[in-house]
Amino acid sequence: MKPFQTFDGLVAPIDRANVDTDAIIPKQFLKSIKRSGFGPNLFDEWRYLDVGQPGQDCTNRPKNPDFVLNQPRYQGAQILLARDNFGCGSSREHAPWALEDYGFRVIIAPSFADIFFNNSFKNGLLPIKLDAAELDVLFAQCEATEGYRLKVDLAAQTITRPDGKAIPFDVDPFRKECLLNGWDDIGLTLRHDDEIRAFEAKRRTEHPYYFA
């Protein structure tokens, strides 16, 4: 996993609540057995006017001019502003894979669906929960200012607006540590392999019916 430290990126807004994982990456793309290459199909049904198929070259597909990410001013966006309950729906990790592959590194929303939130951290994508009022300001500024950028400092836990105001955010210390260092969860967990073995042996004795 790529380590995440400070980061300065162009911002794009998706101003709707309950953006679900079917919208983020429609199911026909889940047939892939790979982890990469989902970026061109991010928000496929909103982004294109035709129906996308896996394995298709997307460069010449008709784009929906009304979809926000298709506007020229948001090309190259790396920070996404979103509304409540972003990423609700399925457990598909293809959702953060698609966001990351498209180029997003940070998603800022008032709330996220649990599994999506979890999956994001495992893929170097930082989901930040921000107070709705604070976020309203970001939406307004972003829409009013072409080329609107934000600076995200994970170590300091701040988002800095172009006007210089720094907004603090919360992040779980353990996840922060992993993300800052680009640590692999599995490697970390296996440091406790003795404890896992001991736990398992005890459970096997106390509850043998789970080990049949």
Q: Which residues bind other proteins (CB under 8 A)?
A: 16-18, 20, 22-23, 26-28, 30-35, 45, 51, 54-55, 83-85, 88-93, 96, 111-115, 118-119, 122-123, 172-175, 185-186, 189-190, 192-193, 195-196, 199-200, 203, 207-212
What's the min distance (Å) between Cβ of 76 and other proteins?
27
Contacts of residue 153, defined as CB under 8 A and 6 or more positions apart, other chains included, come to 5, 6, 7, 159, 160
Give the C-alpha separation, 133 to 110, whole Å: 9
Residue 21, phi then psi, degrees to nearest 5: -70, -25
Nearer to other proteins (CB atom), residue 75 or residue 189: 189
What's the min distance (Å) between Cβ of 34 and other proteins?
7
- Written as six digits, the tokens of 208 are 């043998």
Nearer to other proteins (CB atom), residue 78 or residue 94: 94
Contacts of residue 112, defined as CB under 8 A and 6 or more positions apart, other chains included, come to 85, 86, 87, 120, 127, 129
What's the min distance (Å) between Cβ of 85 and other proteins?
4
**Count of other CB atoms within 10 angstroms of residue 35:** 12
What's the min distance (Å) between Cβ of 16 and other proteins?
7
Nearer to other proteins (CB atom), residue 156 or residue 196: 196
